Structure 1
Amino acid sequence: MTEKNEPYDFLCDNGFFEPTKIVVEDNKKQEISCCDNNISDVITGTTQSRKEKFLKLLWNEAVMWDLEDGGLIFIILSLLLISLCVIAFLGAKYGLAVFLIVFQIIVLLLGIIIFAGDNIAEALYLKNKNLHLEQTLYTLDFNLNIISVNLKNVLLEYDNIRYECSVDENIKYFFENEVFFTPELASDTARIIREKRTEILSGILTDKTNNFLNSTKFFKYAKKYYQIKFLDESCWNRISVYEFLMSRDSFVDFCEFIQETMAAEKKEEQMEKAQNEKCRKIISDVINSNE
């Protein structure tokens, strides 16, 4: 640990990220197209229209009623109303019969919401966004590489709209602002994130920032970090690309991850080396015993 007032050199932590081992590779850099440099707008996404708010309400009401056995309630209520309508007509109480028929129509609309509201809302949302299932969308990893994903479903939840997508034959969930309709939109966002990330890390690493962000070690472990902290985590607990290296805490967490991973890799390498040595010794002993 460093002294309380001593500056902490993140790039020289017991040989971890030694400056002599940092390699700047120009071919690792991405060329990003230009757009407005305002990451807060990118993170929050566009303001939802009234249509989208209504579709979310329809989707959530359908899911809520389905979870609360709304279908059973609908069937019981419909049978009761039909029975009352028949009784009213037989008793020549036509005013009551008309009232019950209108009420039955309202119940039928409720039934549509219960049984098909989520599917209707999803279909209308996809049409409004000019999307379709099985469409190829794009997302960014922590290295700001563009990754293609395949749209499987849309969940129109109250707080967040989630896209269910297949990634390397695995199903993952992405929030609405984590997927892009075209590679160009993903590229524009990557440029914004890269500039903001560089700006924040410059306050920590000063003139070593570019060496850090373009080192082979960064690209290697950012890929592993993305797999563990993003793809393997639920969408509610994971670290998003908008949060990665956007604060001192995030940077320290990433450095600790690299340090721990390197130690685990070194231990595994030593164990493999010892196992190979043991095998060679056994083979050598067996061969020599036959001579």
Structure 2
Amino acid sequence: MVGLKAIFTCFFIALCIIKCTSATETVCSKFSYEQEIIASVLKMKLNVEHMEKEIKKTQEDILKVLEDQREKMEMFAKNYITVRDILVVVMENKSAEVSKVLDDKTDEVDKVLKNKTAEVAKVLADKTSVIDKVLRNKTAEVVKALDDVEKKVTKAVVAFSASATKHQTNPANGQTIIFDAVMTNIGNAYDSTSGKFLAPVSGTYVFSCSIFSGGNGEFWAYMAVNNSAKAHLNERGTNGRHGMGSQTMIVQLNPGDVVTVNTNYGAGTVYGAKYSTFNGFLLL
């Protein structure tokens, strides 16, 4: 329809041009122009028809493309819905699988924890038993050590010191020298009448003895444990002078052991007047 309007418009313009042409033109020229105009109009008509065909074809192509795109969109939407449904199903299945796996792993962890808890409880019980045994042994050792310390503390109060007030001239061989003047007798282990020291407890004791000899006299003596000589001493005064002999010993005694100072060879004089002394104490 648009093409026909264009053709008539062109034809009308051509007629106007013919009418405006000068009257002096020849008939032959008139017909030549008309032919040219008609040819031009026909050519324009053909161009318009060709353009209409091209436009129509273009419209059809566009419509076809739009239809293809519509079909593709519909297909995409359909596929999208299908994929979504598939994903929903897959996710539901995977969620169920994950939940099952988690439940299984939770059961395994619980089982392992129970086993480990039992193992730890057993180890702790064993260790506790060992610790209790060690503590009992150590407690017994501590108690024994405390008893020993207590005994040693008790032993530490044994000590004596005595001197002779009387001269003892030419005593018999093996005679016990009497130190009758007691200065100290802690624990009452020394007997000033017999001159004997009786060990009250076991331990290490220290004893010392000093004998003052008579003028120009000589004496021989020894310290004994249970009548067995342990340490000897000798002294002799010269030029009318006196002499002093001394001896010290450290011995291990048991309860009831007897320590004395005895004469030897039965000769000499033990000077009294508190010059001659006998001492002893518990060391350990």
Under TM normalisation by the shorter chain, which class is it?
under 0.3
TM-score w.r.t. length of structure 2 = 0.23
> Rg: which structure is higher?
2
**Which one has a larger percent helix, Structure 1 or Structure 2?**
1
Scaled by the length of structure 1, the TM-score of the pair is: 0.22
